[in-house]
Amino acid sequence: MEKVSGEPVEALGSVQFSVNTAGGGVAKRTLSKSGEMHPLEDFQRIIELNLIASFNINRIMAKHMSGNEPNADGERGVMINTASIAAFEGQIGQVSYTAAKAGIAGMTLTMARDLGSVGIRVMTIAPSLFDTGLTRGIPEAGAQQLTKDAAFPRRMGRPEEYAIMAIAIFESAMMNGSTVRVDAGQRFAPR
């Protein structure tokens, strides 16, 4: 039997809310114009970083949450994963990232069904471009170019806007098994 370390959870007393924001990618076409194939190792690494790590965190959190005392509705915990709008309209060169983030969105309903019997909800947030560590170095002109196709506002999202959605999901027991886009109406073009 696999042992799940509970030291951090025990230090907190329990865990009722988990937000997973694993992410990262590479810009590689499946086959470049010069005939270079996308390295399989890069694809596997991005799947591991995004999809497998997200599943692993969820299974560990589910184990801990399942031992919680249920609230009046029978709920023991809420888990939120982070996909991306690239899960639905990935750009050229994002094949590994798109596959990983689509996998996260795809496992949301099934995992919610798996964990419903123990009172754990599962949701996914699919953000567009947000002003985080990965994008912080983009010059303002570049950020405007990247967000020009958003409906409104035409800017990168702010971390607190992601947090507002995460809190809303936590507070609304009816939010379960779905992926919510937080993207200002942005739809990625092919490039």
**Domain containing 45 — which CATH number?**
3.40.50.720
Q: Which residues pair with 157 in a beta bridge?
A: 130
Whole-number mean pLDDT of the chain?
94
Reply yes or no on whether 162 is catalytic: no
**Three-class SS state of 2:** coil
Q: How confident is the model at residue 184 (pLDDT cuts 50, 70, 90)?
A: very high
- Could you give the CA distance from residue 121 to residue 62 in angstroms, rounded to a whole number? 10
Q: How confident is the model at residue 2 (pLDDT cuts 50, 70, 90)?
A: low
Q: Total structural domains in the chain?
A: 1
Residue 132 inside a domain? The answer is yes
pLDDT digits (tens, 9 = 90+) for 93-138: 999 999 999 999 999 999 999 999 999 999 999 999 999 877 888 8
- Could you give the CA distance from residue 147 to residue 155 in angstroms, rounded to a whole number? 6
Residue 1 inside a domain? The answer is no
CB atoms within 10 A of CB 186: 23
Residue 2 inside a domain? The answer is no
Residue 113 inside a domain? The answer is yes
Percent of the chain at pLDDT above 70?
97
Place of tokens 């958003």: 150
**Three-class SS state of 118:** coil
Please check whether residue 76 is in contact with residue 68, taking contact to mean a CB–CB distance below 8 angstroms.
Answer: yes
Residue 107 inside a domain? The answer is yes
Structural domain including 157 reads 15-182
Residue 7 inside a domain? The answer is no
Residue 32 inside a domain? The answer is yes
**Phi and psi torsions of 78, nearest 5°:** -135, 130
Q: How confident is the model at residue 3 (pLDDT cuts 50, 70, 90)?
A: low
- Could you give the CA distance from residue 83 to residue 101 in angstroms, rounded to a whole number? 5
Exactly one of 43, 97, 130, 188 is catalytic; which is it? Answer: 97
Place of tokens 């996308």: 38
Residue 10 inside a domain? The answer is no
> What is the pLDDT averaged over residues 1-21?
82
